Structure 1
Amino acid sequence: MSDRPFWAADDYAGGRPIRVDGGIRIHATKGAVARTWWSARFLTVLEQLGVGGRLSRGRTYARSGQIVSLDIDAGAAVALVQGTRPQPYRVRIGLGVWDKPQWRRVEQALAADAWYAAALLAGTVPPEIEELLDGLGLSLFPAAGDDLAQDCSCPDATVPCKHLAAVFYVLAERCDTDPFTLLALRGRDRTTLLERLRTERDRAAGADSASGPAALADLLDDFWTAPPGGAAAPRPPETAPDAVLDQVPEPGLRSGRDTLTDLLRPVYRALADPARVG
């Protein structure tokens, strides 16, 4: 009997993975996967933690739709990835969850400026959020090796294996289309976070109104009076012109290797730049 492990012939003889019908795949069929600064930052952080150099192993899996399922919850993204064996591999990527006192500080800081919630709802992550969290002693992205866990049921001893790497790519693109993804991994899903921010704003408004009707009347007298020196205009969330293409399912139409989304993306960007259109 051969001394080789029983799984060697399946996983290390160059066998092709079993094709998945309707598998989860990234939209980027060529070039860079990340389309926004925050998903690019996520991949850059992985490189700094020594993960990024091996990510290319999973690019083909991510583009060919080998991921059967992906569930994102507080502290972990769990996926099934189809390899060369009939049974898909179970992949888990863990990220440290912020505790209650930490989340309370985050919620109070975000509620103090409604622009942050507006930006997230508009599908973007303002760069200022990194500075805000840094001031609280927290990081949206993995801060160190022990802040990131990687597990796969495949026999490959290399970390990350191609199955883990494929899920990292899908996570990066999921962050592109839903900026609440990283916050969900840190412990607050979209619905819960928005409800807590609303509660914090209501609590702050109640404290402001506690001074009584006389104070409210004083405020009404000055309601139409511009503040000294003028007030800064509200900052609109910065949304990429082609972001809407990431919010809808990928059409089945293709032109060679290019998807319809790939062909429409430069059109949306050009329309957002009058100088280029002219």
Structure 2
Amino acid sequence: MSPAGRRTSGDWWSDETEENHRPPAARGRGSRRGFGQTWWGRAWVDALEHRAALDPGRLSRGRSYARRGAVGQMDVAPGLVMAAVQGSRAVPYTVTVRVPRFRRDDWERVLDAIAAQIGRTAALLDGELPPEVVSDVAAAGLDLLPGAGEIQPRCSCPDWGDPCKHAAAVCYLVADALDKDPFTLLRLRGKSRADVLSALRARRTPGPGSSAGPSAGLAGSSAEGVVARDAYAGASEPRPELPAPPLPPERPGHPVTVAFDPPPESGIDPEVLRALATAAAHRAWQLATATPGDPDHEGEADA
């Protein structure tokens, strides 16, 4: 006898016909769009398909459900994704996808590793998630992207697969959420954008009596600073003339060599990056040394 609430084999077969299998609210769509348009979205999909140890067949059917628009409103909370998915029945199924959150001491290690790289901290404070953050977290002995067994999908449907097609659809649409907001990845691990940025700002500005931290040199002698307008308003003596701008160098400079190449998951070719930087330096030198009437000067004016 089948367990209570579970479909019999006959019911299962009738629901798995092509017409019944397709979500009623989404029939006729079926566009084969991809998932993950940014590096962090693609990294999630790669972790989902190659590292999370989920059933590849169910993932394939989940992609079809996601493309057909079967997933409704999706909510992301620390360690948890929830969504309603329209299956072959009239009432949508409830899907939850859990990802283990970092512990408090784990987060301290992660934030210390990120704050040690001034460029990474500046990018995050500007709302960007540089791909090197994955390497920073790995250096702290943790993994930002989920590994085998870390994605735990559950669904209210009778299918006991891991995952079922409804849960797999939600897993893929997490990539869309990451494309819109890369901080979703950090939120899944337990901290919101505001929490992460607040912790990084605290590490940039040493407290009273503390010695220099990872970015203390940027803080200056005063944490609060002085508004430029107020500083100039009280000046009693004439302000000095602005100094003449320095002359350009005799030849184009060479871009600074970065200490580490971009991580493989970023999709950035370091050789192409260096070539672009070299070309930009050469073009900047041409513009700096051009005089009115030169083709370079005229071309820049037209642009």
- Normalising by structure 2, we get a TM-score of 0.60
- Pick closer, same or farther for the CA change 1:209–1:98 going to 2, 3 Å: closer
Distance 1:122 1:166 in 2: 31
Residue type of the partner of 2:94? R
Which residue does 2:180 correspond to in 1? 177
Sequence identity (%): 37
Q: Which runs of 5+ in 2 are unaligned?
A: 214-219, 222-253, 263-303
Distance 2:126 2:179 in 1: 12
Which residue does 2:45 correspond to in 1? 43
Q: Which runs of 5+ in 1 are unaligned?
A: 217-229, 239-278
Residue type of the partner of 1:50? A
Distance 1:209 1:136 in 2: 21
Partner secondary structure for residue 24 of structure 2: coil
Report whether the alignment pairs 1:199 with 2:202: yes
Which residue does 1:273 correspond to in 2? none
1:9 is displaced (CA, Å) by 7.0
- Pick closer, same or farther for the CA change 1:63–1:84 going to 2, 3 Å: same
Distance 1:69 1:6 in 2: 32
- Normalising by structure 1, we get a TM-score of 0.64
Report whether the alignment pairs 1:151 with 2:157: no
Aligned CA RMSD, in angstroms, stands at: 3.6
Size of the aligned set, in residue pairs, is 211
Distance 2:163 2:67 in 1: 17
1:70-111 CA distance string (max 9 Å, x none): 111111111111112122111111111111111111122223
Which residue does 2:107 correspond to in 1? 103
Match of 2:146 among 126, 142, 154: 142
Partner secondary structure for residue 143 of structure 1: coil
Distance 1:7 1:33 in 2: 32
Which residue does 1:18 correspond to in 2? 24
1:197 is displaced (CA, Å) by 1.4
Q: How does 1:112-127 map to 2 (within 5 A)?
A: 112-120=116-124, 124-127=128-131
Match of 2:189 among 174, 186, 189: 186
Which residue does 2:266 correspond to in 1? none
Distance 1:62 1:122 in 2: 31
Distance 1:234 1:29 in 2: 41
Residue type of the partner of 2:25? R
Distance 2:33 2:55 in 1: 16
- More relative contact order in 1 or in 2 (CA 8 Å, sep 6+)? 1
CA contact (8 A) 1:76 1:93 kept: yes
